[in-house]
Amino acid sequence: MQYRYQNVCLEAIAYTLPDEVVTSAEIEARLAPLYQRLRLPEGRLELMSGISQRRFWPPGMAPSTKSVETAEKAIELAGIDRQRIGACIHGSVCRDFLEPATACLVHNGLGLPSDCAVYDLSNACLGLLSGAIQVANMIELGQIAAGLVVGTEDSRSLVESTIDTLNADCTLTRNDIKPAFASLTIGSGSAAIVLADRRLSRTGNRLLGGAVRAFTDQCHLCQGDSQRMGGDAQTLMQTDSEALLHEGIAAAEKTFAEFLDCMGWQTGQIGKTFCHQVGRAHRKLLLDALGLNPAIDFSTFETLGNTGSVALPITAAMGIEQGHVRPGERVAMLGIGSGINAVVLGVQWQ
């Protein structure tokens, strides 16, 4: 599916990071029983992923709390009257509870108008990008003047549950633990995106369109859920990392080709890229497969890990903040989510 926009601007991207830093070495220290039993070499987690650290929110923090904080930053950065915001979408995997929608708490916390579409959107690591497309569609149709997409991912439960499970099961072999490896690379963070009608925009950063493709025959490669462990519920995820890597790259190649056709761009005309953050091997294979120069890309996985749906927008926000994008450049945003789904969006930066 292709999207083309004439009236949509990417007005602001903001982020918030947790204060607590957890290194890969610290995670391996907590996995000492497993490492000693299986004679695993120390340092393999960072060596294999390229991730030296990730961050955790304080225990028990509600995602909506940080989503409100980050959304406030984005609204202030955009300089838009919040009464003009006609959609509030919460797009992260993590949310406060099953109902009501976490977006309701965010909407209330921000004091947004009542004539505002308010709902959660779930699409694994593509939640915020999928939300951005929906807001862009509403703006292009003239239904709203501006919209907000926000989300907060909390990795603490997944990482700690994975550590506990790996240490507790003494029957596990080296081969058995492979599906749990990806869970140890997950980090926490919060991001928010404000999109606006070009007539309201102060930046002129045009969201020109993009392409979306689904490859759901591979939906079994990464699956996460809460499981009952005694009297407690623990979050666990099983990932075929190698297969997911190659199938995700294949999905990205097809979606990127459709994106170039939709935009009428050539690969060499792309000035900068922001991609979903997984790890060193994923980044190298992705850029090689798409024929993109690593010098035009900006990465954060080294110090933030994989922060799920907020990974790409946090990376974009930090890259913009650090001057990675220059006026006049064409920017490609490449997202891949378990399922497998892929999204590529194009922005003309001003």
φ and ψ of 314, to 5 deg:
-65, -45
Rg (Cα) of the chain, in Å, rounded?
20
* C-alpha distance from residue 60 to each of 71, 104, 155 (Å): 20, 19, 12
Cβ atoms 55, 113 nearer than 8 A? no
pLDDT at position 246, please?
Answer: 84
- Whether 233 has a pLDDT exceeding 60, the answer reads no
pLDDT at position 235, please?
Answer: 73
Between residues 241 and 94, the one the model is more confident about: 94
pLDDT at position 172, please?
Answer: 93
At residue 254, what is the residue type? Answer: K
pLDDT at position 227, please?
Answer: 46
pLDDT at position 349, please?
Answer: 97
pLDDT at position 219, please?
Answer: 86
125 is catalytic: yes
Pairing of strands 85-90, 206-214: unpaired
pLDDT at position 189, please?
Answer: 98
pLDDT digits (tens, 9 = 90+) for 31-49: 999 999 999 999 999 999 9
Q: Is-above-0.85 flag for pTM?
A: yes
pLDDT at position 223, please?
Answer: 83
Taking residues 52-72, report their average pLDDT: 97
What does the buried/exposed string (b/e) look like for 221-240 if buried means 16 or more CB atoms within 10 Å of the residue's CB?
Answer: bbebeeeeeeeeebbbbebb
For 56: left if phi > 0, alpha if psi spans -120 to 50, otherwise beta; the answer is: beta
- Whether 229 has a pLDDT exceeding 60, the answer reads no
Share of the chain residues as helix, strand and coil, in percent rounded to the nearest 5:
40, 25, 30
99 is catalytic: yes
Quickly list DSSP for 56-86.
EPPTT--HHHHHHHHHHHHHHHHT--GGGEE
Q: Which residue has the tokens 């007005």?
A: 11
CATH architecture type of domain 205-348: 3-Layer(aba) Sandwich (3.40)
pLDDT digits (tens, 9 = 90+) for 89-143: 999 999 999 999 999 999 999 999 999 999 999 999 999 999 999 999 999 999 9
Catalytic residue among 9, 125, 222, 262: 125
pLDDT at position 234, please?
Answer: 63
pLDDT digits (tens, 9 = 90+) for 321-338: 999 999 999 999 999 998
CA 349, 297, 27, 244 torsion-angle sign:
positive
Quickly list DSSP for 131-147.
HHHHHHHHHHTTS-SEE
pLDDT digits (tens, 9 = 90+) for 189-207: 999 999 999 999 999 999 9
